[in-house]
Chains A and B, each alone.
Chain A
Amino acid sequence: MITLSELKDILADEDPQAIEDLAVKAKTITSRFFGRTISLYAPIYLSNYCDNGCLYCGFRHGLRIKRKKLTFDEMAGEMARVSGAGIQNILLLTGGSRKQTPPSYIKKAVEVAGEYFPSISLEVYPMTEDEYRQLYRSGVDGVTVYQETYNRKRYSYLHPTGKKSDYEYRYLTPERIAKSGIRNISMGALLGLWDVAEDIHELFKHLSCMERNYPGVEYSLSFPRILSVPGTKFKSINVSDLTLIKLMCLARILFPRVGINLSTREGEKLRDHALGIGVTRISAASRTSVGGYTGTGENDTQFDVRDRRSVREVVSILKAKNFDPVFTDWRRIKNGP
């Protein structure tokens, strides 16, 4: 495992040749283990109700935004629209409200999604092992959970209220997910909340520990950069494109077979170039507001989408760059015993 000081040295090195060398190494490894394939997915926001007070988030409890939770009919409409555009891997998201969107609501949403998508992932509030197990049996293949920041003091400051203020419970979430039988876990840190090197070093240690203890899980990493959100006083730490690319290269070199996700938070230029280096899974044509695909929802988004290209446009870019877009990477089988 890389040491923190080695990681800091790499991030501080601005020699273009050293960066190119890093990218070439990452590209070679990606090609060996993933070939020329890139998987596609899209998110659907089911609700923006939240009980947590994360200082950096546009959905946090207490902010005066229009709150909405999709009915099951409304979510079917969103799913039909996304599925119709060709997407087959779906990521369902909610805000962190167990009251408004309890596990039973999420379970029902998964059952609705099962009518449209062969592969379903969740990005919702952390749950118990048993709740994850029930969702797995309902057809959930993957769960995304970010620690946000691994610095405990900073974490406490940024998450002053709600269940999310419990650092330990969140840190142990990937373990509970793995024990439940769910096959994919996506981990990450929200870049810009704390010193990037320290957070990423802890993230790599966390992933390493998970790989050793739960080897049967397919892991992926995300490197979301937090942007300023209207209505919050939070000021993020700037994380440059150069740093982001270096982090993805390092992740690929240290974890050759781990997937690397890149969302539409990032702009076209960066996304297109990152494809050749280490990214293996990208979202396309995302809407980040509740009801955003059918236009029935509110305007408030969790973050701004910077790459607004359609699925068709993204596919044609991939093909022009000699990548094979993968729409389906899983076929629903009955999960569990």
Chain B
Amino acid sequence: MIKDKPLIIDGKKIKSRLFLGTGKFRNKKDVTDCIKASGTEVVTVALRRIDLKRHEENILEYIPKNVNLLINTSGARNAREVLRIARIARESGYGNWVKVEVVNDSKYLLPDNHETVKATEMLSKEGFVALPYMSPDLYTARELVKAGAATVMPLGSCIGSSRGLKAKEFIKILINEIDLPVVVDAGLGFPSQAAESMEMGADAVLLNTAVATAGNPKALAKAFALAVQAGRTAYLGAPREEKDSASASSPLTGFLFEDKK
């Protein structure tokens, strides 16, 4: 058995280990429904999409007040732009939790780890709670710890791809070696992939496209929440390691004990 450890970010205990994004939905009411159906407590919103002029189009109006708002820096291409976006968010009253998103490649949308570390350091110095989105790399993760990150959020596979845990081996290394919460962010298209992430020991998952573009987003939000719970429960129960084939007990060394039988 593995001892359960609460997920704590910035001193706050987060019960739901499913974080939700708010982009790509067909309407904003679905966002509310999905937040409620999943029980998520951390919701990320791109500052660029917050419409201050039109009340009925302002995504913030559709996010229940009891969830933690995680402003993401979508559109930032370097650390400097991350800091500018974060400052605007804080001055606008959106809190100080920032999902650090630095993308300087519009074809694959892969995060720029180098700028992400710089941005995290700059944000931490200014008192922000930085949750950096990253390509899973041990050296970068260690730098992020030093830079003051609150979590590390490695991608499972390319954003929006629904390809699941293509980076599994590397995320596993982060789970083993990094003391901060590890949140698998991006690429999870199916509840089974979310369960797999949690089973291997991720502290939480963050997803958006899979729910937002589903035929029934609310149903998928609920399904993901259940999958995350199942995966976490399984992790705590320490499932047996997978084996390639069935095996008799001790076929190689059993002979050593034959005389004792």
Interface string of B97-110 (1 = CB under 8 A from A): 00000001111010
Contact A33 B107 (CB under 8 A): no
Interface string of B75-97 (1 = CB under 8 A from A): 10100110011001000000000
| Known interface pairs A32-B162, A35-B26, A331-B85; A216-B104 also in contact (CB < 8 Å) | yes
Question: A37 CA to B28 CA in the complex, in Å?
Answer: 11
Q: Check A257–B209 contact: CB distance below 8 A.
A: no
Does A319 sit at the interface, judged by CB under 8 A?
yes
Query: Are B75 and A183 in contact, with the CB atoms below 8 A?
Result: yes
Check A327/B107 contact, CB under 8 A, given A35-B212, A37-B23, A333-B81. no
A334 and B104 within 8 A (CB): no
For residue A295, CB closer than 8 A to chain B, the reply is: no
Q: Is the interface of B mostly helix, strand, loop or mixed?
A: loop
A-B CB pair tally, cutoff 8 Å: 82
Of chain B, the residue at the smallest CB distance from A330 is B48
Q: Which residues of A contact B209 (CB under 8 A)?
A: 32, 35
Q: Does B243 contact A (CB under 8 A)?
A: no
Q: Which of A114-136 contact B (CB under 8 A)?
A: none
Name the segment of B11-19, B51-59, B222-230 touching the other chain: B51-59
Instruction: Please give the number of chain B residues whose Cβ is less than 8 angstroms from any Cβ of chain A in the complex.
Output: 33
CA separation between A216 and B84, bound complex, in Å? 18
Q: Are B51 and A217 in contact (CB under 8 A)?
A: no
Q: Does B145 contact A (CB under 8 A)?
A: no
B104, A328: Cβ atoms under 8 Å?
no
B106 in contact with A211 (CB, 8 Å): yes
Is A324 in contact with B54, judged by CB distance below 8 angstroms?
no
Which residues from A are CB-within-8-Å of B50?
328, 331
Cβ of B170 within 8 Å of any chain A Cβ, yes or no, is no
Residues of A within 8 A of B107 (CB): 211, 215, 257
Query: B213 to A215, Cβ gap below 8 A?
Result: no
Give the distance to chain A from B235, nearest Cβ to Cβ, in Å.
29
Least distance between A214 CB and chain B CB atoms (Å): 9
Known A216-B105, A217-B106, A324-B26: A86·B54 in contact at CB below 8 Å: yes
Interface digits, A1-29 against B, CB 8 Å rule (1 contact, 0 not)?
00000000000000000000000000000
Query: Which residues of chain A are within 8 angstroms of B109 by Cβ–Cβ distance?
Result: 257
Closest B residue by C-beta to A332:
B88
Known A35-B212, A216-B106, A333-B88; judge A327-B23 contact (CB<8 A): no
Task: Report the separation of the CA atoms of residues A215 and B109 in the bound assembly, to the nearest whole angstrom.
Answer: 9
Contact mask for chain B residues 21-57; partner A; CB cutoff 8 A; 1 contact, 0 none: 0011111100000000000000000011111111001
Contact A36 B105 (CB under 8 A): no
What is the distance, in angstroms, from A328's C-beta to the closest C-beta of chain B? 5
We find that the number of chain A residues with CB closer than 8 angstroms to chain B is 32
| Residues 172 to 221 of chain A near chain B (Cβ within 8 Å) | 183, 211, 215-219
Task: Compute how far the CA of A324 lies from the CA of B27 in the bound complex, rounded to whole angstroms.
Answer: 5
B160 close to A32 (CB less than 8 A):
yes
Q: Are the C-beta atoms of A331 and B48 separated by less than 8 Å? A: yes
- CA A37 – CA B52 in complex, angstroms? 18
Contact A323:B26 (CB < 8 A) given known A35-B212, A215-B105, A215-B107: yes
In the complex, what residues of A have CB within 8 A of residue B27's CB?
A: 36, 319, 322, 324
| A34: interface (CB < 8 Å) | yes
Tell whether A31 is near chain B: CB-to-CB under 8 Å: yes
Contact indicator per residue, chain A 25-55, by CB within 8 Å of chain B (1) or not (0): 0000001111111000000000000000000
A283 at interface, CB cutoff 8 A: no
> Is A326 in contact with chain B by the CB < 8 A criterion?
yes
Which B-chain residue is minimally distant from A37 (CB atoms)?
B24
**With a CB–CB cut-off of 8 A, which chain A residues contact B104?**
215-216
Contact A322 B26, CB 8 Å, known A32-B162, A327-B53: yes
Assess A326 versus B213: contact at CB under 8 Å? Given A36-B24, A183-B75.
no
B105: chain A residues at CB < 8 Å are: 215-216
Known: A328-B51, A329-B49, A333-B81. A35 touches B24 (CB 8 A): yes
Chain A minimum-CB-distance residue to B104? A216
A36 x B212 contact (CB < 8 A): yes
Q: Does A325 contact B (CB under 8 A)?
A: yes
Asked, given contacts A215-B106, A257-B109, whether A330 binds B54 with beta carbons under 8 Å apart, the answer is no
Any chain B CB within 8 A of the CB of A88? yes
Q: Which residues of B contact A323 (CB under 8 A)?
A: 26
From 231 to 288 in chain A, residues with beta carbon under 8 angstroms from any chain B beta carbon are 257-258
B73, closest chain A residue (CB)? A333
Please report the C-alpha to C-alpha distance between residue A24 and residue B85 in the assembled complex, in whole angstroms. Answer: 37
4 extra A-B contacts, CB within 8 A, seeds A86-B53, A327-B51, A337-B80: A35-B23, A211-B106, A211-B107, A324-B28
Query: Can you offer 12 A-B residue contacts whose CB atoms are under 8 A?
Result: A34-B24, A35-B24, A36-B24, A36-B212, A88-B53, A319-B27, A322-B26, A324-B28, A325-B57, A327-B51, A329-B48, A330-B75
9 smallest A-B Cβ distances: which pairs?
A35-B24, A36-B26, A333-B84, A216-B104, A215-B105, A322-B26, A328-B51, A218-B106, A330-B48
